[in-house]
Amino acid sequence: MKKGLFLFLSGMLFLMSFGQQQAVLTIDAAAPKTTISRHIYGQFSEHLGHCIYDGYWVDEKMNVPKKDRIRLDVVAALKKIHIPNLRWPGGCFADEYHWRDGIGERSRRPKMINTHWGGVTEDNSFGTHEFLELCELLDAEPYIAGNMGSGTVEEMSRWVEYLNADGDSPMTRLRKANGRDQPWKVPFWGVGNESWGCGGNMTPEYYASEFRRYATFARNYPGAPLKKIASGANADDYNWTEVCMKNIPQHMMWGLSLHYYTVPTGNWGRKGSATSFNETEYFKTMQRCLHMEELVAKHSAIMDRYDPEKKVALVVDEWGIWTDPEPGTNPGFLYQQNSLRDALIAGTTLNIFNNHADRVRMANLAQTVNVLQALILTKGTEMLLTPTYYVFDLFKEHMDAKLLPIQLAAPGYNKDGATIPAVNASASVDSNGRVHITLVNLDADNAITVQTTLKGKPFKTVSGRILTSGKFTDINTFENKNLVKPVAFNGFKQTGAVLSVQLPRLSIVSLTLE
């Protein structure tokens, strides 16, 4: 009998012996190999609603700490969780954005209508220099989505030159005239966005051909090799991945993207409320969140056929929950509140990405501030951290740590005749030899005991933190900013190499073993 099957059957026997509120987790710490890329914990900020304007970039008269017009309390909060990269300017907006409109003297920059998001007028005061200044303040690598949809090969080529070239050329002279002598050497470069939809309604065959043309002229300059990311599939469009992997030479692309949003109702016309939902709606949302496991596995399997050495990364550069906008807000601004349910989605999704770290090497939550599953909400001079923000805080120790293989036998969470796994997990070991375990209990009714065995590595001490609340609808508000916030966790007991963890209902727990 294979070792993994033996561990799984042993776990199931344990569950049958001790009831359905027990889980068995075995972690193999003997020979870690795969690195969990820190870029899995990336973020996404589009010119959409109040993400850029009134989020990062505020009125010069606003009484908050600023550098130029960049809001520094937002920067400080994101630095605390070590965001590794930031994707910009979109999203759908990227394929109508012409970068030269966003450089030079701000008062002379042409205005534009944001046709995708609310029909508002953009003054282009936040452009290339401002974005890269923000990334430097965040200590995050920029990830720029280039305009393939309404742009030209020359436009994209010149933008890369403006960003990354040294020496003497029209673009480097223009950059210097605008106040930047040295190139930024931007590494991550998206060649189009959602080219199957808002980025041009292309067929995969046409897109693959266009990618080859655009990518050819997006040059690698000395000391600044590009990591080019192809616009990949929408959810379960496996044919798109097949065609791209078949028709784009592997040496031309660093990554292939995937977009998937958890829509509570499964209906894009009426997605469901961010704050008012019952357990049946909660359960269906978690079912749809867990679909990410199937998507990553199936897209990875297609990529494996063409790229068995896994040189091309799967880049899930848009993910998160998408609900109806908050009542009374501009529907084109996609402003939604952020509940404990959303935190459970974030923890579950990050566990999935960690466990597929051999292929998933970059991901970007949509979006960072004031839009969709935001980490931060702002209201004038006030700012709050959402439950999702705290998940990234709990999980940050996984960044660039080595993935530890796990075997998990979890009880089912049952509702209306359907069942999902109640518990999910991932584990890693960092460069200092500390083991980090993240556990999520999706069950709305039951606490679960997780009998955890760490094989191949002794440990003496355990510390932990937990994020939970009384209801899955609980949110942080400007009147009560700390309702859903991590606290110290000591609900565990060690017996030799076995750690018994009492995982409360609706909770996310991070443990460190030393």
Single out the residue in 397, 420, 445 at which a domain terminates.
Answer: 397
Query: Would you state the structure tokens that stand for residue 78, as one six-digit string?
Result: 């994101």
pLDDT score, position 13? 43
Single out the residue in 397, 414, 435 at which a domain terminates.
Answer: 397
**Is the separation of the CB atoms in 75 and 368 below 8 Å?**
no
Same domain, 477 and 429: yes
pLDDT score, position 92? 98
Same domain, 307 and 206: yes
pLDDT of the chain, 514 residues: tens digit per residue: 444 444 444 444 444 434 458 999 999 999 898 999 999 999 999 999 999 999 999 999 999 999 999 999 999 999 999 999 999 999 999 999 999 999 999 999 999 999 999 999 999 999 999 999 999 999 999 999 999 999 999 999 999 999 999 999 999 999 999 999 999 999 999 999 999 999 999 999 999 999 999 999 999 999 999 999 999 999 999 999 999 999 999 999 999 999 999 999 999 999 999 999 999 999 999 999 999 999 999 999 999 999 999 999 999 999 999 999 999 999 999 999 999 999 999 999 999 999 999 999 999 999 999 999 999 999 999 999 999 999 999 999 999 999 999 999 999 999 999 999 999 999 999 999 999 999 999 999 999 999 999 999 999 999 999 999 999 999 999 999 999 999 999 999 999 889 999 999 999 999 999 9
- Which candidate, 404, 346, 247, places its Cα nearest to that of 40? 346
Same domain, 342 and 445: no
Please state the separation of Cα 469 from the chain's center in Å.
23
Cα–Cα distance measured from residue 152 to residue 159, given in angstroms and rounded to the nearest whole number: 11
Same domain, 386 and 488: no
Q: What CATH number is given to the structural domain containing 233?
A: 3.20.20.80
Q: What CATH number is given to the structural domain containing 490?
A: 2.60.40.1180
Cα–Cα distance measured from residue 318 to residue 337, given in angstroms and rounded to the nearest whole number: 18
pLDDT score, position 499? 97
**How far, in Å, are 5, 23, 49, 410, 452 from residue 10 at the CA level?**
8, 11, 51, 12, 13
- Which candidate, 406, 316, 439, places its Cα nearest to that of 366? 316
Same domain, 331 and 431: no
Residues of the domain holding 438: 3-30+404-513
pLDDT score, position 6? 42
Same domain, 222 and 254: yes
Cα–Cα distance measured from residue 383 to residue 428, given in angstroms and rounded to the nearest whole number: 32
pLDDT score, position 17? 39
Same domain, 409 and 371: no
Cα–Cα distance measured from residue 168 to residue 163, given in angstroms and rounded to the nearest whole number: 13
Same domain, 146 and 20: no
pLDDT score, position 354? 98
Instruction: List Cβ neighbours of 327 (8 Å cut-off, separation of 6 or more).
Output: none
Single out the residue in 352, 372, 397 at which a domain terminates.
Answer: 397
pLDDT score, position 290? 98
Same domain, 392 and 466: no
Same domain, 134 and 182: yes
Query: Would you state the structure tokens that stand for residue 424, as one six-digit string?
Result: 């999910």
**How far, in Å, are 3, 271, 395, 495 from residue 427 at the CA level?**
19, 33, 10, 19
Same domain, 16 and 52: no
pTM (predicted TM-score): 0.94
**Is the separation of the CB atoms in 219 and 160 below 8 Å?**
yes
Per DSSP, 391 falls in state H
Give me the long-range contacts of 308-313 (CB less than 8 A, separation at least 24). 310/358, 310/359, 311/250, 312/245, 312/250, 312/253, 312/254, 312/255, 312/256, 313/254, 313/255, 313/256, 313/359, 313/360, 313/361, 313/362
Overall domain count for the chain: 2
Which residues belong to the active site? 194, 318
pLDDT score, position 94? 98
Same domain, 134 and 255: yes
